[in-house]
């Protein structure tokens, strides 16, 4: 059984990034939900920061298993090599992953260590597939990216919807995401970095498509729609250039239960056309600046402006946030997302599935997507790999393909709501 994998290792779960904002929330969740007998550790560059994090955990969950403190820099191969073979599962919140994630994921693949992260950088995910997938398959490692707001709600939302659609028919699915969230510094850095590396990302994606191929005897595709008004949702829908559709389509390619002919479109749902027009103009301007060398300085200035102003946008989640000190102040409402704002924050993903003459509508919904729900989802994914009986699969996997029913049960218990609106 999967729960017996690497049972002789020192730690069930090791968390990289616990001294940061999102990583601290993941550590909080693990501390409150790990089995009492669990063995776990937190990793950071400075022992003093880890000790502060450990003291906070001890105060918030005094009866919980205390983590061991491990000092290492995630980009140092020698230091990471001392940790990867000791863990059954490693979780990382340290981004941008293209700059700082390669060493860790490669050593997890080499040592057969399961790995989860919050990465939504498509170039990094494709490069990991090209460089590490075959090795991970041979060692038994499960490499699962996008285990936060991107892309568990969309991936599991479609997975859940497949329970209710007719079998053996062509299916057309559309997801509409509605969320109120702010850009974090990490999200902004990742987004601007991806714009600047658009050419490299396209090349990696093309190499992956050539190597990966298409599912045998089945048709699976992502349909890039145009902005339009949806009468059933009474919202404007705008194509969302996110990780979600890539993850959903890869899950569909991997599992026959998604049917012989599966198409998927992914949108952000907004109330007003002006929001659509403004968002498209901003994205187009940033992309154009990123492609012209003489405008790269302007792009960097824009990035700094966005860091300072962080406008509310749909479909955004947070890789990182304020410093640990700022986070403590934020808990008392002095800066950052205060308690009241986080309590008001919410998201939902509506999935419309048509096929065989039927229409099925489902919804996934939850609270604060960028901080509370993302940390819960990453922690539950790590615990799912560590403690649950999952399908016997390895390599680079999607959340639904790697963990399926077990992860669905866990995130439901963690607070996400899955419901059928029309069947």
Q: Facing residues of 43 across strands? A: 16, 70
C-alpha Rg value of the chain to the nearest Å:
21
Q: What does the pLDDT read at residue 313? A: 43
Whether residues 42 and 83 share a domain: the answer is yes
Q: What does the pLDDT read at residue 278? A: 60
pLDDT tens per residue across all 423 residues of the chain:
444 689 999 999 999 999 998 999 999 999 999 999 999 999 999 999 999 999 999 999 999 999 999 999 999 999 999 999 999 999 999 999 999 999 999 999 999 999 999 999 999 999 999 999 999 999 999 999 999 999 999 999 999 999 999 999 999 999 999 987 554 555 555 555 566 778 889 999 999 999 999 999 999 999 998 999 988 888 899 988 789 999 999 999 999 999 999 999 999 998 876 565 565 555 555 555 545 554 445 445 444 544 454 544 443 333 444 444 444 443 333 334 655 776 788 999 999 999 999 999 999 999 999 889 999 999 999 999 999 999 999 999 999 999 999 999 999 999 999 999 999
Q: What does the pLDDT read at residue 288? A: 54
Whether residues 10 and 91 share a domain: the answer is yes
Whether residues 55 and 161 share a domain: the answer is no
Q: To 5 degrees, how large is the angle CA 225–CA 226–CA 232?
A: 85
Whether residues 341 and 412 share a domain: the answer is no
d(CA 317, CA 182): 8
- 230 domain residue, yes or no: yes
- 423 domain residue, yes or no: no
Whether residues 260 and 203 share a domain: the answer is yes
b/e sequence 406-421, b meaning 16+ C-beta within 10 Å: bbbebbeebebebeee
Q: Note if the bond before 244 is cis, omega within 30 degrees.
A: no
Q: What is the pLDDT of residues 266-284, one digit of tens each?
A: 999 988 765 655 655 555 5
Q: How do 358-366 and 417-422 pair as beta strands?
A: antiparallel
Q: Supply the CATH number for residue 239's domain.
A: 3.30.360
Range of the domain at 181: 152-370
What is the distance between the terminal CA atoms of the chain, rounded to a whole angstrom?
A: 36
Whether residues 190 and 171 share a domain: the answer is yes
Cβ-in-10-Å burial (0-12, 13-18, 19+) of 223 comes to middle
Q: Supply the CATH number for residue 44's domain.
A: 3.40.50.720
Whether residues 144 and 283 share a domain: the answer is no
> What residue has token string 């105060």?
59
Whether residues 214 and 310 share a domain: the answer is yes
Q: Give the count of beta carbons closer than 10 Å to the beta carbon of residue 365.
A: 20
Q: What does the pLDDT read at residue 218? A: 97
User: How far is C-alpha 313 from the chain's CA centre?
Assistant: 17
Q: To 5 degrees, how large is the angle CA 384–CA 53–CA 304?
A: 90
Q: Note if the bond before 151 is cis, omega within 30 degrees.
A: yes
Q: What is the pLDDT of residues 318-349, one digit of tens each?
A: 344 444 444 444 333 333 465 577 678 899 99
Reference 113, options 122, 121, 101, 104; nearest CA is: 104
d(CA 229, CA 292): 34
Whether residues 292 and 157 share a domain: the answer is yes
Whether residues 253 and 357 share a domain: the answer is yes
d(CA 73, CA 238): 40
> How many domains, the chain?
2
Q: In what order do the strands lie in the sheet with 11-16?
A: 68-71, 40-44, 11-16, 87-92, 114-117, 142-144, 395-397
Whether residues 336 and 403 share a domain: the answer is no
Tokens of 240: 């969302």
Q: Note if the bond before 96 is cis, omega within 30 degrees.
A: yes
Task: Please check whether residue 32 is in contact with residue 61, taking contact to mean a CB–CB distance below 8 angstroms.
Answer: yes
Task: Please check whether residue 345 is in contact with residue 366, taking contact to mean a CB–CB distance below 8 angstroms.
Answer: no
- 201 domain residue, yes or no: yes
Task: Please check whether residue 364 is in contact with residue 349, taking contact to mean a CB–CB distance below 8 angstroms.
Answer: yes
Q: What does the pLDDT read at residue 291? A: 53
């Amino acid at each position: 059984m999967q729960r017996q994998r690497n049972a002789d290792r020192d730690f069930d779960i090791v968390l990289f990034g616990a001294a940061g904002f999102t990583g601290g929330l993941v550590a909080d969740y693990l501390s409150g939900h790990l089995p009492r007998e669990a063995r776990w550790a937190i990793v950071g560059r400075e022992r003093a920061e880890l000790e502060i994090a450990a003291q906070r955990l001890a105060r918030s969950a005094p009866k919980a298993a205390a983590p061991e403190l491990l000092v290492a820099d995630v980009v140092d191969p020698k230091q990471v090599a001392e940790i990867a073979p000791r863990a059954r599962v490693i979780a990382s919140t340290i981004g941008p992953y293209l700059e700082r994630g390669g060493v860790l994921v490669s050593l997890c693949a080499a040592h057969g260590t399961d790995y989860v992260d919050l990465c939504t950088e498509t170039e990094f995910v494709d490069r990991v597939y090209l460089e590490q997938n075959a090795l991970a398959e041979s060692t038994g490692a499960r490499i699962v990216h996008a285990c936060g707001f991107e892309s568990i709600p969309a991936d599991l939302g479609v997975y859940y919807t497949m329970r209710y659609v007719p079998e053996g028919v062509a299916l057309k699915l559309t997801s509409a995401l509605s969320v109120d969230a702010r850009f974090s510094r990490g999200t902004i850095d990742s987004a601007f970095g991806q714009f600047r590396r658009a050419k490299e990302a396209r090349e990696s994606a093309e190499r992956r498509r050539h190597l990966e191929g298409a599912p045998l005897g089945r048709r699976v595709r992502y349909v890039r729609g145009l902005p339009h008004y949806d009468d059933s949702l009474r919202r404007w829908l705008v194509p969302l250039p996110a990780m979600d559709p890539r993850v959903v389509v890869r899950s569909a390619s991997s599992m026959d239960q998604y049917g012989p002919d599966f198409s998927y479109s992914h949108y952000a749902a907004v109330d007003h056309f002006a929001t659509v027009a403004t968002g498209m103009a901003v994205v187009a301007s940033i992309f154009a600046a990123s492609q012209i060398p003489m405008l790269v300085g302007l792009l960097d200035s824009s990035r700094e402006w966005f860091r300072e102003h962080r406008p509310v946008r749909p479909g955004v989640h947070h890789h990182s946030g304020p410093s640990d000190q700022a986070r403590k102040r934020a808990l008392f409402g002095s800066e950052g997302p205060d308690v009241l704002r986080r309590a008001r924050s919410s998201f939902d993903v509506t999935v419309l599935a048509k096929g065989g003459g039927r229409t099925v509508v489902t919804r996934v919904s939850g609270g604060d997507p960028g901080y509370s729900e993302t940390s819960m989802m990453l922690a539950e994914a790590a615990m799912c790999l560590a403690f649950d009986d999952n399908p016997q699969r390895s390599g680079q996997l999607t959340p639904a393909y790697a963990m399926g029913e077990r992860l669905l049960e866990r995130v439901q218990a963690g607070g996400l709501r899955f419901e059928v609106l029309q069947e």
